[in-house]
Structure formats: structure tokens, C-alpha cells
């Protein structure tokens, strides 16, 4: 669900430099590894969030969003929808700008929490796939 207009999406990618990936995976066969790897290849700083790994894609892994000390622009979520409200609350708490729920993940409660906290929300869409489509059509450089 991309209720955001084209200009808003283009600005989102132009303005974002750091993406915290909640549910990042070390398994190269999973989208939770492939999408963060793609984002890295597009010059985004990726911060993996996973309670069971130490390093993913050459990056230090944090156990939770609240452990991250760097500024996070986008929180990209690869976790089940029932976990999304707590993740949204964490995204608000760390001062993120965007909550992005990956393809197949919809949570109105998470959306409400994030929106109330001033975040832009995208649900049920792949951050990598949307970026690829926009790159083909628009200059996303700042």
C-alpha cells in the first residue's frame, strides 16, 4: 500500500541515508538479506537489527532499535505484523522519520503509533523494489 505520492516517495529516498532493518537476516536466500544488501549497494547505511546475530552484511548487528546510537532515517521492518506496533513505538522513540513495513506486512495499529509520532508510514511494499522502480524513472540523487 503506497498511499504516498510520487514526489513524497522520491523525497523519502533522497532524504534518507540510514536504514535500520528490523529482522535483517544473515541467510543470503532471504529477502531480509537481499533487500538490505541492495540498499547498501545504493549507498544507504544499513543498520541490521536482529537479536541472534553479531554481524550481517559486514555491519555490526544491534539487538533492538533502542540500542542504535546513530540517527536512523528509515526503519525497514521484516517482522510479522503483530510485532509492528512495538517496532513503531521504538521507531518513534529513536527519532526515525519513516516506518516502512515490507511486502505482506500491514498493521493499522503500527501505522497509528508511527503517524502520531510524526513518522511517514509505508505498508505492504518492498523498499528495494520501490527504489528500483523510482531509480529507472527519476534522479534520486540529492
**For residue 117, how many other CB atoms are within 10 A of its CB?**
16
Q: Does residue 133 belong to any structural domain of this protein?
A: yes
Give kind and range of the element (H or E) at residue 21: strand 18-22
Write out pLDDT tens, residues 90-104.
999 999 999 999 999
Write out pLDDT tens, residues 50-104.
999 999 999 999 999 999 999 999 999 999 999 999 999 999 999 999 999 999 9
Instruction: Name the residue range of residue 20's domain.
Output: 6-137
Backbone angles phi, psi at 9, to 5 degrees: -65, -45
| DSSP of 94-129 | TT-SEEEEPTT---HHHHHHHHHTT-EEE-SS-HHH
Give kind and range of the element (H or E) at residue 75: strand 74-77
Q: Does residue 1 belong to any structural domain of this protein?
A: no
Q: Does residue 66 belong to any structural domain of this protein?
A: yes
Q: Does residue 142 belong to any structural domain of this protein?
A: no
CA distance 52 to 43: 26
Rounded to two decimals, the pTM is 0.93
CA distance 76 to 10: 17
Q: Does residue 29 belong to any structural domain of this protein?
A: yes
Q: Per the structure, how many domains does the chain have?
A: 1
Q: Which CATH number fits the domain that encloses residue 52?
A: 3.40.50.720
Amino acid at each position: 500500500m503506497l498511499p504516498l505520492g510520487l514526489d513524497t516517495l522520491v523525497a523519502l529516498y533522497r532524504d534518507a541515508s540510514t536504514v535500520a532493518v528490523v529482522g535483517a537476516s544473515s541467510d543470503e536466500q532471504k529477502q531480509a538479506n537481499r533487500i538490505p544488501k541492495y540498499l547498501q549497494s545504493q549507498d544507504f547505511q544499513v543498520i541490521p537489527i536482529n537479536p541472534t546475530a553479531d554481524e550481517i552484511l559486514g555491519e555490526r548487528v544491534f539487538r533492538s532499535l533502542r540500542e542504535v546510537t546513530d540517527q536512523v532515517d528509515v526503519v525497514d521492518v521484516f517482522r510479522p505484523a503483530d510485532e509492528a506496533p512495538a517496532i513503531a513505538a521504538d521507531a518513534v522513540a529513536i527519532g526515525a522519520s519513516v516506518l516502512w513495513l515490507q511486502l505482506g506486512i500491514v498493521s493499522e495499529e503500527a501505522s497509528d503509533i508511527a503517524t502520531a509520532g510524526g513518522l511517514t508510514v509505508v505498508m505492504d511494499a518492498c523498499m528495494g523494489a520501490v527504489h528500483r522502480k523510482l531509480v529507472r524513472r527519476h534522479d534520486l540523487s540529492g
